[in-house]
Amino acid sequence: MQANDLEVLLRSRVPIIVVDSRDESRVLKELARACALPAGPPPMPRTPGAPPASLARVGLPLFRWTVTDGLKRLDVEVGPPQRTLAEPLDILKHIRATTLAGAYALLDFHPYLREPTVVRLLKDIAQDYDQCARTIVLISYETEIPHELEPLSARVVLALPDRNERRQLVEDVARQWMRANPRRAVKIDARALELLVENMSGLSAADTQRLARKAIFDHGAIEASDIPMVMRAKYEMLNHAGVLRYEHDTAGLTDVGGLANFKAWLQKRCAAFDGSAPELDAPKGVLLLGVQGCGKSLVARASAGIFNIPLLRLDCAALFDKYVGESERNLRESLASADVLAPCVLWIDEIEKGFAAGDSDGGATRRVLGAFLTWLAEKSSRVFVVATANDIETLPPELIRKGRFDEIFFVDLPNPGTRAEIMRIHAAKRGIALDAPTLDALARACEGFSGAEIEQAIVATLYTAHARHVPPDAKLLAAEIGATRPLSVVMAESVAALREWAKDRTVPAE
């Protein structure tokens, strides 16, 4: 919504305008611009039944009401607020009785819309618009209009600042800092500034200024190190339902052993997220199917690291609520937050636990699945979905059909070369030196091991070495490998069935 949107509504003789926004000051500023039309001669007194004065000829008086201060005129200075009109019924009776056409902005009026007398008064004012052009503007974060008033009202949403506006807001904050520090200039890294402006998308003007102030006033600079802080703060502002989690630690290519096919697939799509190829459509996402412990979760983290964007994790368990409709609302709010936090990676771990078909929950799972599929099909934001699954047979067919995700990858048990690479990565992290021939021998010894099982064998080696007061070495690691029974042995039948199912139905990640 911009000032001209409000001007159109005012000219269109809509008696009740509903504005959903947390940024009250910006809404009032836009409303003041819409009301401040080119001035003309004062309106002539009119006879009863004559049409109201044209809004195009004169500016429209603007009033603001709050339950704490009462009524105050904003377009001209006429003194302090009228505190005697602080009660909701009093202000509506006053508006109904006045003969002064104008716009009356009622702030946080939504709790009173449940009272029948309030609804009746609003309806009387709206239906009397032809006698006196009084426009009620309800400003609140979220307003539920009673059914009786819906035909008399129009709803608008405050447009969030675009890229140029965000840049201007950041520059305004920089000028504020320089006024407070006249002998110093803000140190601005050009690339960091671009990333800062980009990552503030979806925030109100007030929140944009708040985060810019935090970034600049901390050290008088805009640097690349400010971006993670801004994203964490942005996440805290937007994640009201608690279903999304901001994952601070991501991974890079060097942290993932093997999976060359998937890594190459991801790298081809980096340009869609880093801004270097705005003409490219943002990829929807991938479904990762695989044997447990083979690195699907690590791949989700690495996706965010490769794209250099934040990682959000959707907690499927927290989605569901005992009240009808709340589960769907939780999902819609979480997905809306992800859209606002874009560009980002949305990680849905073990998706089968949240969207598996079932009839024992009153249809909540089906409704949540439907809401997710609709969002997945219609989203235009740069949200890359990484869904992981261990048991694809429990997933509904409509979720895994072609087109829902860009690709379905199968993460299989690592081959000897990948096992050696995984072992090298985890051993190096823990200070265990292994040469190439040793790595190859140990990789052959752990045939059938997943990446997680290889890591745990190295961790167990450290425990054993500590208990024996000796340095960890290849001999201890070989002993731990020999004592481990991997999942591919313990659950041989189910692992074999999964690998057989995926052989001709998915794309190998390796």
pLDDT by 10s per residue, the chain, length 510: 454 678 888 888 899 999 988 888 888 988 998 888 544 444 444 444 444 444 443 478 999 999 999 999 998 888 899 999 999 999 999 999 999 999 999 999 999 999 999 999 999 999 999 999 999 999 998 888 999 999 999 988 777 788 888 899 999 999 899 988 888 888 888 888 888 887 787 777 888 888 898 889 888 888 888 887 887 777 777 665 557 787 776 777 677 888 889 889 998 988 888 767 878 888 889 999 988 888 888 888 888 888 888 888 887 766 766 555 667 777 887 888 788 778 889 999 888 877 765 555 557 778 888 888 888 888 888 899 999 888 777 788 888 877 789 999 999 999 999 999 999 999 998 988 899 999 999 999 999 999 999 999 999 999 999 999 999 999 999 999 999 999 999 999 988 888 888 888 889 988
**Are 308 and 174 members of one domain?**
no
Residue 323 DSSP one-character state? S
**Are 263 and 225 members of one domain?**
no
Of 359, 382, 411, the domain-final residue: 411
**Are 57 and 203 members of one domain?**
no
Give the C-alpha distances (Å, rounded to integers) separating 37 from 14, 34, 412. 17, 7, 67
What CATH code is carried by the domain that includes residue 232? 1.10.8
In a domain, 289, yes or no: yes
Total-model pTM: 0.66
**Are 123 and 181 members of one domain?**
no
In a domain, 506, yes or no: no
**Are 467 and 403 members of one domain?**
no
Structure tokens at 504: 């001709």
**Are 128 and 84 members of one domain?**
yes
Cβ pair 486, 450 in contact under 8 A: yes
Of 188, 204, 238, the domain-final residue: 238
**Are 357 and 425 members of one domain?**
no
Q: Could you tell me the residue range of the domain that residue 226 belongs to? A: 163-238
In a domain, 282, yes or no: yes
**Are 187 and 312 members of one domain?**
no
Q: What is the pLDDT of residue 325?
A: 60
Q: Which residues of 289-310 are buried (b: 16+ CB within 10 A; e: fewer)?
A: bbbbbbbbbbbbbbbbbbbebb
Amino acid at 153: S
In a domain, 292, yes or no: yes
**Are 167 and 98 members of one domain?**
no
Q: What is the pLDDT of residue 30?
A: 87
Spell out the residues 6+ positions from residue 297 whose beta carbon is closer than 8 angstroms to its own: 347, 349, 388
- How many domains is the chain built from? 4
What SS3 state is found at 301? Answer: helix
What CATH code is carried by the domain that includes residue 280? 3.40.50.300
What SS3 state is found at 54? Answer: coil
**Are 10 and 148 members of one domain?**
yes
**Are 305 and 338 members of one domain?**
yes
Of 182, 206, 238, the domain-final residue: 238
In a domain, 510, yes or no: no
Give the C-alpha distances (Å, rounded to integers) separating 505 from 285, 293, 348, 509. 17, 21, 21, 13
In a domain, 212, yes or no: yes
Q: What is the pLDDT of residue 42?
A: 42
In a domain, 403, yes or no: yes
Q: What is the pLDDT of residue 53?
A: 43
Q: What is the pLDDT of residue 152?
A: 94
What CATH code is carried by the domain that includes residue 423? 1.10.8.60
**Are 375 and 433 members of one domain?**
no
- CA 116 to CA 233: how far, in whole Å? 41
β-bridge partners, 15 = none
In a domain, 500, yes or no: no
